[in-house]
Structures are given as C-alpha cells and as structure tokens.
C-alpha cells in the first residue's frame, strides 16, 4: 500500500470510528456529518479490504483487523498531534542520542569529568562527541553544522542566529616550580618579565590574552616556548625555570601533583568568560535544551 495514494483524513475518521464504535458519535467527535462518516467508513473498508465495523445487535463492534490497525494508527496520530503542538517529550533515561560539542581544551578539562559522570547515571544511552575548536572557531563549526553546541570564548560580535550564555568565569595565575628562584622575592612585574615564559597558543591564528594585557601597559615578556595544549604546560614546568600564566582551575589541579607554586598575576589581568553557544534552530529542541541546562548546572558546581 503506497501512502502517497491515501487520503490521511481517512485515518482521522478511522480513529474516531473505532474509538467510538458509532458512526454518528464519531462524526460529532471530529466535526463531520453522519453521511460524511458513512462515506469515510465505506472508503476505509475498501482500502483495508475488511469490514472494520460490523453490527452486533444494536451496537457496532470492530473486527480483529480493525483493532490491530487502530493500535498503530491511534499512536501515530497522537505522536503527530504532539509534534504539531510542540509537545515532543525528551526523557534522558530513555533516549538514545549523540550530541556533538565543540570545546576549547580548558572547558573540556573543567566540564567533561562531571558531565560524563552525570550522563552515565542519568542518561546512559546518550553519547557525547567532543571536537576541538583549536583550528576552527566554535561559531564557525556551529554555522557549518559540524556541532550542535560550542563551549569556549566568543567573538565580540555574534551573528543574530547564534545564541549564547555564560558558563563560568576564570582568572589567570602565574605558575612555576616550587623551588623557582623568583619565589624568594616579592614577585614583582619586573621579576616576572625577567624570566623566560611558556605560552599557550591553540593555533597559529590564536592570540594571547596575557600578551595583549602586557601590551596595554607597554610591556612584553619573552616567550621561550609556545605550545598548543594547556595541559602539557604543567608537565614542563617542574624541571625548568620557565613561568606560565594559566587558568586557575587548571593550575590548582596540577600543582600538588607536579610540585608547582601559584602566584597572583603581577599586573592587571582581566578574567575571561567561557560561553556556551548554539544555533537558533536548536533553541526549542527538548533534548538540546536539557543538555544546555545540564551543562549550565555542572558549570555552577565546578
């Protein structure tokens, strides 16, 4: 049976006829006259090659085939009505779905352990695919439909179809080995600038908030090592006199393990904001909304 040849209005009539088991009452339920419903029943009998409803005394009873068909047709019509009314439900514990999220490395470090733990418990059939935003900005990945949401820094001006919210704020701290000679003094800006530095540049095009802040006060540090992964910086400080300026959460996690020392930045260094962004087309998607809210709640606990 080819669905393209079927008048789907007949399925509405079928649902009413089998539900009410009375031609006139079925017509009243869906706003059709008794003759129109009788005509619909005739067409349905021809379509399904079955009597569907037969008289039994003063009543009409459905045939076995009618009951079997009604189970599926009624469910399908209910789902269709819910979809039209925007009532499609999302049950995390029952849904199988994969979400693709573009994240900067630091955001993945902060959020993914808790997010993975939560999803494993509350939504075991939901999978998360994380892609890097090192070489391609998150907004560009959203617009090219390579991800469903992006987490990281945002450009000053967003396209009108990209939505965003702040997940958390993070400040920078200076990090060095615990026995570093700079720790014997007052950790001034001059001392900070007198040592070699290791800087994080996720890509060749990415700038440095540290160097931008120094440039505003007419200063410049010597960057002896550039590296693309912030997590690797912590592994390189213990055996050298290099100084790094890292996000505080990252530094405090690795400091005890790598015998590192932390100090406040010796110059004015504004905190940075990590945003969650998504395309407007996902705004009302129940599953997407659930994950956005879940990530937002986790960010508050980090």
- Where exactly are the structural domains of the chain? 3-84, 98-165+273-301, 172-270
Tell which residue, 121, 163, 127, has the closest CA to residue 142. 163
**Class in CATH terms, 172-270:** alpha beta
Region 98-165+273-301: CATH code = 3.40.190.10
Does the pTM surpass 0.75? The reply is: no
Instruction: Give, for all 302 residues of the chain, the pLDDT tens digit.
Output: 666 677 888 999 999 999 999 999 999 988 899 999 999 999 999 999 999 999 887 788 999 999 999 988 988 887 787 667 665 567 899 888 899 999 999 999 999 999 999 999 999 999 999 998 866 678 888 888 889 999 988 877 788 889 999 999 999 999 999 999 999 999 999 999 999 999 998 766 677 899 999 999 999 999 999 998 888 898 899 889 999 999 999 999 999 999 999 999 999 999 999 999 999 888 888 899 999 999 999 999 88
CB 266 within 8 A of CB 187: yes
CB 132 within 8 A of CB 105: yes
- Asked, colleague to colleague, whether 3-84 and 98-165+273-301 share their fold, the answer is no
Specify which residues 131 forms β-bridges with: 102
Q: Does domain 3-84 have CATH number 3.40.190.290?
A: no
Q: Where does residue 186 rank: exposed (0-12), middle (13-18), buried (19+ CB within 10 A)?
A: exposed
């Amino acid at each position: 049976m080819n669905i393209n040849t079927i008048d789907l209005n007949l399925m509405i009539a079928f649902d009413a006829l089998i539900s009410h088991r009375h031609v006139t009452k079925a017509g009243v339920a869906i706003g059709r006259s008794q003759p129109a419903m009788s005509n619909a029943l005739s067409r349905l009998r021809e379509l399904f090659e079955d009597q569907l409803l037969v008289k039994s005394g003063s009543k009409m009873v459905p045939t076995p085939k009618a009951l079997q068909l009604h189970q599926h047709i009624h469910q399908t019509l209910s789902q269709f009505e819910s979809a039209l009314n925007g009532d499609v439900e999302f049950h995390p514990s029952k849904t199988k779905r994969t979400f693709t999220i573009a994240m900067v490395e630091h955001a993945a470090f902060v959020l993914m352990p808790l997010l993975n733990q939560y999803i494993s418990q509350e939504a075991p059939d939901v999978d998360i695919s994380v892609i890097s935003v090192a070489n391609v900005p998150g907004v560009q990945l959203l617009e090219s439909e390579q991800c469903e949401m992006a987490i990281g820094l945002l450009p000053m001006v967003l396209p009108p179809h990209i939505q965003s919210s702040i997940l958390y704020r993070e400040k920078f701290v200076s990090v060095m080995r615990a026995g570093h000679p700079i720790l014997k003094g007052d950790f001034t800006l001059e001392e900070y600038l007198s040592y070699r530095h290791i800087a994080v540049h996720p890509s060749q095009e990415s700038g440095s908030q540290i160097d931008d802040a120094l440039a505003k006060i007419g200063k410049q540090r010597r960057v002896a090592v550039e590296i693309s992964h912030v997590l690797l910086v912590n592994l390189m400080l213990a055996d050298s006199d290099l100084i790094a300026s890292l996000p505080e959460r990252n530094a405090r996690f690795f400091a005890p393990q790598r015998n590192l020392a932390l100090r406040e930045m010796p110059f004015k260094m504004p905190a940075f904001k990590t945003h969650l962004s998504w395309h407007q087309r996902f705004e009302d998607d129940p599953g997407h909304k659930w994950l956005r809210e879940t990530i937002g709640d986790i960010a508050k606990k980090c």
